[in-house]
Amino acid sequence: MEIDEFITTITFKRKIFYFTMNLYNILNNKIQNRTNLFVRIILSLAFLGHGLVSLGYSPSYSLHYNLIDVINITNIETKQIVQFQAWFDIVISILLILVKNIKLILYTVLIYLCFVCMSALVFSFHKTGTIFGFSECLRRFPWIFLSLFLLNDLNGIKKFHFIRIALSCAFIAHGFASLGFLGLNQGHIDLAVRIIPKDNAIFFVYCSGITDSIIGFMLLQSVYTKYISGLAILWISFIVYISYLNAFPDAIFRMGFLLTAIYVWLDEKTYTPKLFKI
């Protein structure tokens, strides 16, 4: 009787294993065969989430407002410009999915993101008094690299490593900012206090800054990328969860990071070339 139960258990576990492997292979093939669409979805989520934030559906609205306010040299109220930016982001989000030839859209996105980078540097200078707000600028690099991937893909050039670099930039930017190094960490602390006391949140954010930076540089150089991207999936999943506790638009645009990590984990074509040949 015990032998029969043992055999039944082994058979059941084997079926679960084969089902999991088959599901993994199916998802892997479907995603890799539709890389362009997958990256479009990632960018679409990023713009949709940020658009909803600018509409005031998240406490992060104040950051978007301040980013515009520090460079607003017009007579137009900052609130109106932020609202225009919100609808611009949402329209871009929709066009990235619905339009077949998105080359013009991508050029628009790249120019827009460069403008946002400059705005972030100016905002960082106003907050800290230093011109070295590199992390605030680097936060926009994931979307820049994903846009560059799509542009190259439209021209028949497959630069899969741009997807890995995009993910690495996200971790390095958030890592440096969490450390209070070349960036602002208040937003990270505000997110952490959703689950832990404020005194512990500051230490937690500092520690996460160390781990994020390490993950980012390992991804940048493509060191143990399969394992590191798997770890990134777990960590970002947790961040998406606590972002949802804060505001759903925050969770939406961070889902873009999660999908990027999933793609890097699935597709080994993103692992090369390395940044430096050692």
* CATH at residue 98: 1.20.1260
- Interval 27-56 mean pLDDT: 88
pLDDT at 159 over 90: yes
Which pLDDT tens digit goes with each residue over 82-112?
999 999 999 999 999 999 889 999 999 999 9
Give the per-residue pLDDT at 234. 95
pLDDT at 30 over 60: yes
Identify whether 8 is part of a domain.
no
pLDDT at 218 over 90: yes
Among candidate residues 169, 146, 278, the one with its CA nearest the CA of residue 220:
169
Identify whether 7 is part of a domain.
no
Q: Given pLDDT bands bounded at 50, 70 and 90, which one contains residue 258?
A: very high
Per mean pLDDT, which of 14-28, 68-82, 200-214, 222-236 is the most reliable? 222-236
pLDDT at 147 over 70: yes
Identify whether 27 is part of a domain.
no
Identify whether 18 is part of a domain.
no
Identify whether 185 is part of a domain.
yes
- Interval 120-134 mean pLDDT: 64
Between the alpha carbon of residue 217 and those of residues 84, 203, 255, 269, the distances in Å are: 36, 22, 21, 18
Identify whether 12 is part of a domain.
no
pLDDT at 183 over 70: no
- Interval 168-180 mean pLDDT: 86
Query: How confident is the prediction for the chain on average, in pLDDT?
Result: 83
Helices (H) then strands (E): counts for the chain: 12, 0
Give the per-residue pLDDT at 18. 62
Q: Output the furthest CA–CA distance in the chain (Å, rounded).
A: 84
Q: Given pLDDT bands bounded at 50, 70 and 90, which one contains residue 205?
A: confident
Give the per-residue pLDDT at 189. 59
Identify whether 154 is part of a domain.
yes
Contacts of 196 (CB under 8 A, 6+ apart): 204
Identify whether 28 is part of a domain.
no
Q: For a pLDDT cut of 90, what percent of the chain falls above it?
A: 46
* Number of domains making up the chain: 1
Give the per-residue pLDDT at 209. 85
Domain range enclosing 57: 34-271
Q: 14-23, 47-56, 81-90, 248-257 — which is least confidently predicted?
A: 14-23
